[in-house]
Structure 1
Amino acid sequence: MKNYKETASMGWVSGKIKGFQGRDLIDMENGGLKMIKIDPFASYPVHQHPDKTEYIYVLQGNPEITVDGKVYHGKKDDFFISPNSVKHSIANPSEKECLLLVGAIK
């Protein structure tokens, strides 16, 4: 694993869901961390992870984070946790892109 990554020179990789792009920062067997860019009005459907806890830190924008049916209206520096097997989703209901750090641990 590298000790330093110059994220500004890393390209954005399109995700499985339209409007979501990422940069892998950490990719390990027991978890990882990505920087995620969400286009305006894009949404990631409700899903769950049976074997890992996911966490989200808002760097920029106002994402709508749903965890276990409760909707949160995020803002810069907010932090969210979705424990394993809990349904959650991410949406960007605004005209400006969102930038998040999204990670998971087993």
Structure 2
Amino acid sequence: MHAGRGSTATVNIDRLVHNVHEQGFAALDKVGINGQHDQGLVSTLISRDLSGSDDLCVSWGRILPGQHHLCHHHPDASEFYVVLSGTPIVHLGNSTYRAKPGDGIYIPRGTTHGITNDGDETVELIVGVSKPADWQFVPDE
């Protein structure tokens, strides 16, 4: 290893590597403006608490057929989605977009966004947020 290019310190692999199939999923728990419940599942893979990350959070998201991830925004963080399967409607600002597997979608800080799975296939996606934890979720519906 070249000097200044990294560390040869011992790392805790158990803290740095997490597997979605071993961790499982938790239901989204946010509430909308009129008391409606956010829908979908999430498995956090990289975060401040899990990995010691100081700059990002990465999760595996799952939106089942008929579910809607509430439109919301983050005033303090940007976000991205990478669609792995399914063809959800992605709400971005005042536009909608029919996503497909392989799409990378960037959501700038403050932009309203959400997902509707109006299809018969489960939507699987990788979700990243530019903060490791404690970002604000502000419902827009």
The answer, yes or no, to whether TM exceeds 0.5 is: yes
Q: Do the aligned partners of 2:63 and 2:69 also contact (CA within 8 Å) in 1?
A: no
Counterpart for residue 129 of structure 2: 104
The alignment-based identity, stated in percent, is 24
Residue correspondences, number: 106
> Is the counterpart of residue 51 in structure 1 residue 64 in structure 2?
no
Aligned to 1:75: 100
The structural deviation recorded for 1:3 is 2.9
Map 1:1-106 → 2, pairs under 5 A: 2-16=15-29, 17=37, 19-28=39-48, 29-106=54-131
Q: Distance in 2 between matches of 1:6 and 1:103?
A: 16
Aligned alpha-carbon RMSD (Å): 1.6
Give the equivalent residue in structure 1 for 2:32.
Answer: none
Matched letter for residue 36 of structure 1: G
Which has a greater percent of helix?
Answer: 2
Q: Distance in 2 between matches of 1:11 and 1:93?
A: 24
Structure with the bigger RCO (C-alpha within 8 Å, sep 6+) is: 1
More strand by share: 1
Give the CA deviation at 1:63: 1.3
Extract unaligned runs of 5+ from structure 1. none
TM-score normalised by L of structure 2: 0.69
1:4, distance to aligned residue in structure 2 (A): 2.1
Bigger CA radius of gyration? 2
Matches of 2:117 and 2:127, distance apart in 1:
15
